[in-house]
Chains A and B, each alone.
Chain A
Amino acid sequence: MPEVRTSKTPVVPPQEASESTATLLRELVSHLRQNRTQLRQEWAHRITEAKLLTAMSADEIFTEATAVYDQYVEALETGTFEALQAYARNLSERIIPRGVEIHEVVGIVLLLRDVLARSLFAKYQGDFAKLNRILDAYEPAANRIANTVAVGFVQERERIIREQQEAIRELSTPVLQVRERLLILPIIGVIDPQRARQLTEQLLRGIRTNRAKVVVIDITGVAAMDSQIANHLVQTVEASRLLGATVIVTGLSPEIAQTLVNIGVDLGKMSTVGDLQGGIEGAERLLGYKVVPIKEQGPNT
C-alpha cells in the first residue's frame, strides 16, 4: 500500500528561500508573462516541428499549449503544483484515448522548458552572473514541473488500465442462472485475490437479484489455489449461506483438495460434489426438481 504523502511541498520552502531566489523568480515570471504571446507561439511551432501530438490538430495544440503555458508560469510563481497536477490529469484523460504517448507528453514539456530557457539566455546574455542566478532559480522549478506532468500522465494511464482490467474481469466470470433459483458460477483460470473478491461480490449480488437458493461453483478450470484463495472460497460459501443460499462446489482437483485439507477447512460448512453434472443434479434435488427422461413419461405428455 502506498504511504501517505503530501503534494503540497513547494520547490523551495518559502521560509528558507533566500530573498534573492524569490525576487529572481518574480522577475522571471513577469518576463514570461510579458512575452506570453510570442513564447507560446514559438512553443506550439516547435511541437509541430518535432512531430509531437500528431493525433491533435494545430488549433487544439495551440489551445492546450496556452493553458499549459499559463499553468506553468503559475507554478513557477506560486511554487505549488496542485493546479498544474490537476490540469495534467485532466489533459491526460482527454488525450490518452486518442493515442497520445508518454514520450510526446514529456517531449512537449521539455520543449517548453527549452523555449523558455532560450528566451532567458537572450534576455540576460549581457550579464552572465545574473543569467546564472536566474537559471539556478528556474531549472529546479522547471524540472519539477516536467516531473509533475509526466507523473500525472502515467498515473492517469494506470488508472485507465485498471478500469479496463476491471471490466475484463467482470466479463470473465459470468454468474449464470440455469433454472429458477439456481445459479452456476464456472471459474476458469488463475484466481488472484482481486479476482476472488470480485467473484464473491458478483455472486452475492447475483444471489440477491436472481433470488437464488442454490449455487453451484465449478472450479474444474482452476488447477491450483493457494491457502489465501482457498480461505476466500470458504468465506464465499459462508457469505452465501448468510443470504440464505446453499453452495455446492464441484470439480475440485486433487491439489485443491489437499490445500483445503491443509488449511483445515470445516467440511461441514461446504458441500462438494465430484463434477458439474453431479452438482447440478444435487442442486435440483435441493430445489425439489425431479428430472425424468421424456420416454418415461405418460403417452399424453
Chain B
Amino acid sequence: MDDVRVPISSDVDLVRARERGRTLAGELGFQQGDLTLVATAISELARNIVRYARRGEIVLHPIEDGGVPGIVIIARDEGPGIIDVNRAMEQGYSTSGGLGMGLPGVRRIMDKFEIVSEIGRGTVVTVTKWKR
C-alpha cells in the first residue's frame, strides 16, 4: 500500500486527514476502537500544525512486522519549532491557551512516539500504532 499525504493548512484539512487515516487503518484490518484512536491522534497532530505552524503535512505510512500491520503517522511542519519539548509533553502545558492535552494525550494512545523540533526550522512528530 502506498503512503498517503495530506497537506494541512486549515481545519478543513484536519477533518480530511483523520478520515484518510481511518480509512487506511481500516484497510490494514485495525479494530473499530483503534480506528478511533488513529483518527483522534491525527486530529490532534494536524491541529497542532494549523495552530502553531499554519501549514505542514500529515503522512500516513503503512508498515508491517512479522505479519502484523501497523500505521506510522508523520506530522511535519516548518513552523517556529518548540522551545522546550519536554515541557510540551507535560499534561496541561500549552502555549496557545489550549487544553495542552494534545501531545501527551497522543503519546498515551499510540504505541510509539517520537518528536524532533528545531527552533526556526519546524517540528516532526512520528507516531506508530500496531494492529492488535
Contact = CB atoms under 8 A, between A and B. Distances in A.
Nearest to B130: A1
A155 B33 contact: no
B4 to A, nearest CB: 17
Which of under 10, 10 to 19, 20 to 34, or 35 or more describes the interface residues of A? Answer: 10 to 19
Contacts of B130: 1-2
Contacts, number: 22
A131 to B, nearest CB: 36
Interface string A1-42: 111110000000000000000000000000000000000000
Which of under 10, 10 to 19, 20 to 34, or 35 or more describes the interface residues of B? Answer: 10 to 19
Given A1-B111, A201-B33, A159 B67 contact: yes
B97 interface: no
A130 B97 CA distance: 75
B33 A4 contact: no
A149 to B, nearest CB: 14
Interface in B61-90: 63, 65-68, 72
Interface in B32-48: 33
Interface of B: 33, 63, 65-68, 72, 111-112, 128, 130
22 contacts: A1-B111, A1-B112, A1-B128, A1-B130, A2-B65, A2-B66, A2-B68, A2-B130, A3-B65, A4-B63, A4-B65, A4-B72, A4-B128, A5-B65, A5-B66, A89-B67, A151-B66, A155-B66, A155-B67, A156-B67, A159-B67, A201-B33
